[in-house]
């Protein structure tokens, strides 16, 4: 390994992680830092070819480019998910890959509840309507254009009771909701464990908090939507491909389920022709559950800790499969 001051560190897509409210200064002592806000596919190779260390959020690092980077020894992923990196190639060629687990647990859980509350109260809509003069034009002392829903005593079904699922469950419980969950790997007596079918049939709110795997791709399908209550609310700020969007759009359009609130979609950014964009009972936000400043600071801090450990010959948050 080169001396620290000889190392070339390349940040491929730093803007989303740090649009200017954080600092990359913690990397300065580790080498010469080359920073890019964004990197297009045809710019990747020229930017990483002579790098010793590469940091990426969503810019893909595949075999065809990695194979032409003889100095590369370390890739730091500025996120928990690391599917943007060819892990098999890196393992075979002794390139260490690290990620940042658990940085956004509280923020993502908070955002899941925010999506739910927006469905139930439509605060943003009604605030905008007041600014536009609609309240002043009413013959009554108040108005509402959407049904207002009280969550107390309703049942939240959480698919995936990991760290984020548990954090969401705590908030839901504080709102007076009954919580049940489906998870093949987690067992707890705190909340009621059910089968997936039972959860779909009996939950007023269904919240997805599971990683995407080959086994749960489109776990929310035409068939599962048909099992849900007609007043059910679907919340997804986990992974877009957990939901069959065409089936969801039809179910929402036909009032087979009450509403959906999504912070993730099958394609990101969402296809401008997606039928979900035309539906009044579907709220979509641009994958920002993770983006609170506090969460992004944790990404920054852990990334620096990961790199420091690597340079000291230690292992911290290494991923290998």
Distance (Å, whole) CA 65 – CA 79: 21
What the block records as the tokens of 122 is 């439509």
Is 57 in contact with 290 (CB distance < 8 Å)? no
Catalytic residue among 34, 93, 118, 287: 287
With contact defined as beta carbons under 8 Å apart, do 76 and 55 qualify? yes
Active site residue 239: yes
Percent of the chain surpassing pLDDT 90: 96
Supply the pLDDT for residue 93: 97
One of 64, 132, 150, 268 is an active-site residue; which one?
A: 268
Query: Taking the alpha carbons of 184, 189, 191, 194 in that order, is the dihedral positive or negative?
Result: positive
Q: Which residue has the tokens 């994958």?
A: 287
Its pTM surpasses 0.85: yes
**For 116-134, what is the mean pLDDT?**
98
Q: Check whether 5 has a pLDDT greater than 80.
A: no
Which listed residue (126, 209, 218, 239) is catalytic?
239
Q: Could you give the CA distance from residue 145 to residue 116 in angstroms, rounded to a whole number?
A: 17
Rounded to the nearest 10 degrees, the angle between the axes of helix 105-121 and helix 123-131 is 60
DSSP annotation of 140 reads S
| Token couple for 36 | 């890019």
Between CA 153 and CA 142 the distance in angstroms is 26
* Residue 268: active-site member: yes
Residues in the chain: 321
pLDDT for the residue 237: 98
Pairing of strands 259-262, 233-236: parallel
pLDDT of residue 165: 98
Element (H, E) at 181: strand 178-182
Q: Which range is least confidently modeled, 14-23, 86-95, 312-321?
A: 312-321
Taking only the tens place, the pLDDT of each residue in 270-292 is 999 999 999 999 999 999 999 99
The DSSP line for 260-315 is EEES--SSSSPPTT-GGGG-TTEEE--S-TT--HHHHHHHHHHHHHHHHHHHTT--
pLDDT tens track for 21-31: 999 999 998 99
> Which domains are delineated in the chain?
4-102+293-311 (3.40.50.720), 105-284 (3.40.50.720)
Hunting for tokens 């089968």 — which residue is that? Answer: 195
296 as an active site residue: the answer is no
Q: Is residue 208 pLDDT above 70, yes or no?
A: yes
pLDDT in tens, 99-120: 999 999 999 999 999 999 999 9
pLDDT tens track for 136-185: 999 999 999 999 999 999 999 999 999 999 999 999 999 999 999 999 99
């Amino acid at each position: 390994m080169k001396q620290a001051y000889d190392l070339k560190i390349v940040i491929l897509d730093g803007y989303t992680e740090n649009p200017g409210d954080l600092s990359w200064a913690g990397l300065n002592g580790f080498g010469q830092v080359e920073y890019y806000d964004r990197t297009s596919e045809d710019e990747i190779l020229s930017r990483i070819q002579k790098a010793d260390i590469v940091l990426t959020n969503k810019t893909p690092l595949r075999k065809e480019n990695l194979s032409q980077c003889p100095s590369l020894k370390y890739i730091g992923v500025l996120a928990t998910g690391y599917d943007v990196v060819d892990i098999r190639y890196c393992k075979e060629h002794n390139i260490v890959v690290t990620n940042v687990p658990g940085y956004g647990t509280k923020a993502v859980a908070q955002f899941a509840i925010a999506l739910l509350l927006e469905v139930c109260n439509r605060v943003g809509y009604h605030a905008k309507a007041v600014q536009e003069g609609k309240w002043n034009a009413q013959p009554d002392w108040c108005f509402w254009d959407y049904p207002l829903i009280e969550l107390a005593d309703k049942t939240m079904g959480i698919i995936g009771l990991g760290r984020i699922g548990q954090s969401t469950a705590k908030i839901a419980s504080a709102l007076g909701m009954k919580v049940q969950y489906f998870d093949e790997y987690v067992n707890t007596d705190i909340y009621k464990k059910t089968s997936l079918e039972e959860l779909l049939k009996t939950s007023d709110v269904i919240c997805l908090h599971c990683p995407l795997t080959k086994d749960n791709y489109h776990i929310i399908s035409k068939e599962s939507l048909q099992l849900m209550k007609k007043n059910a609310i679907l919340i997804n700020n986990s992974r877009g491909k957990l939901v069959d969007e065409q089936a969801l759009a039809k179910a929402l359009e036909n009032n087979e389920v009450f509403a959906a609130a999504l912070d993730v979609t099958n394609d990101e950014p969402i296809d401008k022709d997606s039928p979900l964009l035309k539906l009044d009972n579907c709220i979509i936000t641009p994958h920002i559950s993770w983006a609170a400043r506090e969460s992004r600071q944790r990404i920054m801090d852990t990334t620096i800790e990961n790199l420091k450990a690597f340079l000291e010959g230690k292992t911290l948050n290494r991923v290998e499969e």
